[in-house]
């Protein structure tokens, strides 16, 4: 099986980027990370790429007066890497319709809630304000909506009465680092099929939807 070409897009510290890189390095994923794109020239993730000798391109949103120009530059940079899979890992920008159309069903994102609940920013604060007893994280394919694409994997964590946003986020992050590489592994093994809104997972002869 030919290794899939994986491109990771970041804006910040890149902890989920590292979880994917580690899984690739350990041979858990039948793919190679061909590069990283940062939308922030000061992102800590850039130094982590340098340490690992991973090519990293910077398309800094602050240098573009218009969102449309940023999106075009971003798309041109992505095209240059010829990715089979794009992983958004703390990428803090909404992708344009042209981008999503070109790479439909090949863009993944990780979100710190059990979608479809608590989309958008500050998901942990939303969960605490609502008073839920359980929260978690979701890996999903990206579509034109806000965290509305087909769900691939989810993980659940308890919400404690003395939690604040930081403590809940830390508990969720542990699960993010577990399920994001697993979703990438399944994609690279050609074990994900999208049927309508559902992602069907081939479990080695068994199908889990």
Would you please indicate which residues are annotated as catalytic (active-site) residues?
111
How would you classify the pairing of strands 4-10 and 31-38? parallel
Element (H, E) at 153: strand 151-158
Q: DSSP string spanning 169-197?
A: HHHHHHHHHHHHHHHHHHHHTT-EEEETT
Long-range Cβ pairs for the range 156-163 (8 Å, 24+): 156/114, 158/133, 158/134, 159/127, 159/128, 159/132, 159/133, 159/134, 159/135, 163/128
């Amino acid at each position: 099986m030919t290794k899939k070409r994986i491109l990771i897009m970041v804006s910040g510290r890149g902890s989920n980027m590292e979880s994917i890189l580690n899984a690739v390095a350990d041979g858990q994923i039948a793919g190679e990370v061909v590069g990283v794109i940062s939308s922030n020239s000061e992102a800590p993730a850039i130094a982590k790429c340098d340490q690992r000798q991973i090519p990293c391109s910077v398309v800094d949103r602050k240098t573009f007066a218009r969102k449309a120009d940023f999106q075009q530059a971003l798309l041109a940079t992505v095209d240059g890497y010829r990715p089979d899979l794009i992983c958004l890992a703390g990428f803090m920008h909404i992708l344009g319709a042209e981008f999503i159309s070109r790479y439909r069903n090949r863009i993944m994102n990780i979100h710190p809630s059990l979608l479809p609940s608590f989309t958008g920013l500050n998901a942990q604060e939303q969960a605490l304000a609502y008073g839920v007893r359980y929260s978690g994280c979701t890996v999903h394919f990206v579509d034109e909506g806000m965290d509305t694409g087909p769900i691939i994997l989810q993980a659940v964590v308890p919400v404690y009465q003395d939690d604040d946003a930081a403590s809940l986020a830390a508990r969720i992050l542990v699960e993010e680092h577990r399920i994001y590489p697993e979703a990438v592994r399944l994609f690279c093994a050609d074990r994900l099929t999208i049927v309508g809104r559902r992602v069907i997972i081939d479990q080695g002869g068994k199908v889990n939807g």
